[in-house]
Amino acid sequence: MRYAHITGWGKYVPQRVVTNDELAQTVETSDGWIRDRTGIAERRIAGPSETTASMAIAAAIGALDVAGASGSQLDLIIVATTTPEHLFPSTACLVQDALGAARAGAFDLSAACSGFVYGLSLGADAIKAGSANTVLVIGSETLSRIVNWKDRNTCVLFGDGAGAVLLQGSDQPGGILSTLLRADGSGGELLIIPAGGSRQPVTPEAIAQNLHTIQMNGREVFRFASRVMDRATREIIYKAGWTTDQVDLFVPHQANLRIIEMAARSLGVPLDKFYCNIARYGNTSAASIPIALTEAAESGLLRPKDRVVMVGFGAGLTWAAAALEWGEPHPASRSQKTLSRLGYGVASVRSRARRLFRRVEDRLFGTLDPTLQPAPAREPARELPGRNGSEPGRRGDGKREPTPASDPKPESVTANGTPSDQSALEEARS
Ligand code: UT7
């Protein structure tokens, strides 16, 4: 039987610290209100050169270093984020490129603040199923770029940062023992960015109403969070076959200190068994649990065989939990780290070379054959499904439309009207 162990961990937080007092200069709030209602004292805010990918890469390198592993060993990279660099390509692909993870699959995972635990569950399952042996799971967020800095209900809560863990397969029992993933889409509008997706693209009107920024019904989300923190923690402990007092450390999502305190009270667990760093970073969404876990490991709080429970909750609504047994660290030697750094340098050169090669290839072969030029405008586009309820090629009454004799065969034309005659292309290339 295969087990998925956490063998490396890392984090990155921006240098820039923004205190509550600083925020109180721009919105009607106070240090006292923010501390009392949330437990937050300050947060980190990304500078212009810090992005979701750059922070994810820094956290990932930290995790690989702790494990004495390199990017070339990775089979899978999962980046949990609500603030990806682009809608596509995925941020995970940017991480893959930077780490020189030539054998890895890579994808982003959207489950908001529960995203890291969702990713951990998928990564562990891939290892247990035998489809991967080395998986990087990252939570990275640049929430400062999607916050409405004039909305005191939300802007005081969030911060930027990234955390990562490396999962590796082993026959040794331990590691990720059980996970739980849940969702309730009926609460989607409680925490939402309404514009910017396919339903409502960003328009000047949407921007004027701040629909491209976080909108939250804080009280409702608070109620939901308090409920699921307790329920999911109990469920995952039961699933792992433990009792609450056997858990050595709880690593909860850092959204509000009051939510954590309520969970500790209702579970009958002393608060010092809950790792809390919300005072320093605020809510960093998918990054909050891996940042907290990394800090706990770095400060020596975690010893081999320790039993750890993580619980995340957030937009979706989603929630997730994981129970794991902490493993032995295998820190990289100085020479291993130097070799890895060299590897990342090589990855950067290789990435540039690939881009250059594509440009050269395009120059050499892109326009050699005049038949490969875009074709002149053709017939008007066929009707899309959905209009007046009819399928494409069918009339509203369900009868098939007569096909015009001049209708080009669809297989011979690509989306942009370019002939897709593979043999002509290959001939040109040879
Ligand atoms: O990670 C995703 C999950 N997110 C969460 O878990 C967040 C869950 N929600 C919360 O943490 C809390 O609901 C908040 C921290 C967002 C708000 O705390 P609350 O104790 O629930 O406050 P409230 O919404 O009940 O608002 C109380 C008052 C309101 O004024 P009125 O209507 O009573 O006059 C707010 O306008 O506090 C006001 N208020 C503020 N006052 C000063 C809201 N934000 C601020 C602020 N400074 N920043």
Tens-place pLDDT, residues 350-378: 999 999 999 998 888 875 555 555 555 55
| Position with higher pLDDT, 423 vs 182 | 182
What angle do the packed helices 52-67 and 91-99 form, to 10 degrees? Answer: 50
Residue whose Cα lies nearest atom 38 of ligand 1: it is: 153
Q: Which ligand 1 atom is nearest residue 285's CA? A: 1
Query: Which is it for strands 249-252 and 17-19: parallel, antiparallel or unpaired?
Result: unpaired
For a mutational test of ligand 1's pocket, the pick from 23, 113, 114, 153, i.e. the residue with the most ligand atoms closer than 8 A to its C-beta, is 153
Q: Which of 36-40, 164-168, 196-200, 341-345 has the lowest mean pLDDT?
A: 341-345
The pLDDT tens digits of the residues spanning 193-238 come to 999 999 999 999 999 999 999 999 999 999 999 999 999 999 999 9
Query: Which is it for strands 76-80 and 105-109: parallel, antiparallel or unpaired?
Result: parallel
Tell me the mean pLDDT in the region 152-181: 97
Domain chopping of the chain, boundaries? 3-351
Handedness of CA 402, 408, 413, 416 (dihedral sign): negative
Superfamily of domain 3-351: Thiolase/Chalcone synthase (3.40.47.10)
Task: Please state, in angstroms and as integers, the Cα–Cα distance from residue 236 to each residue in 126, 240, 253, 313, 317, following that order.
Answer: 20, 6, 15, 14, 18
Catalytic residue (one of 5, 20, 93, 253): 253
Q: What spacing in Å lies between the alpha carbon of 153 and ligand 1's midpoint?
A: 6
Q: Which of 133-142, 265-274, 304-313, 379-388 has the lowest mean pLDDT?
A: 379-388
Calpha distance 7→154 (Å, rounded): 35
Calpha distance 142→151 (Å, rounded): 17
Q: Which of 38-47, 278-287, 312-321, 387-396 has the lowest mean pLDDT?
A: 387-396
Phi and psi of 95, rounded to 5°? -65, -45
Residue whose Cα lies nearest atom 35 of ligand 1: it is: 153
Predicted local confidence at residue 84, as pLDDT: 98
Catalytic residue (one of 113, 155, 256, 276): 113
Q: Using an 8 Å Cβ cutoff, are 118 and 126 in contact?
A: no
Residue 400 pLDDT greater than 70, yes or no: no
Is 113 annotated as catalytic?
yes
Residue 403 pLDDT greater than 60, yes or no: no
The pLDDT tens digits of the residues spanning 108-137 come to 999 999 999 999 999 999 999 999 999 999
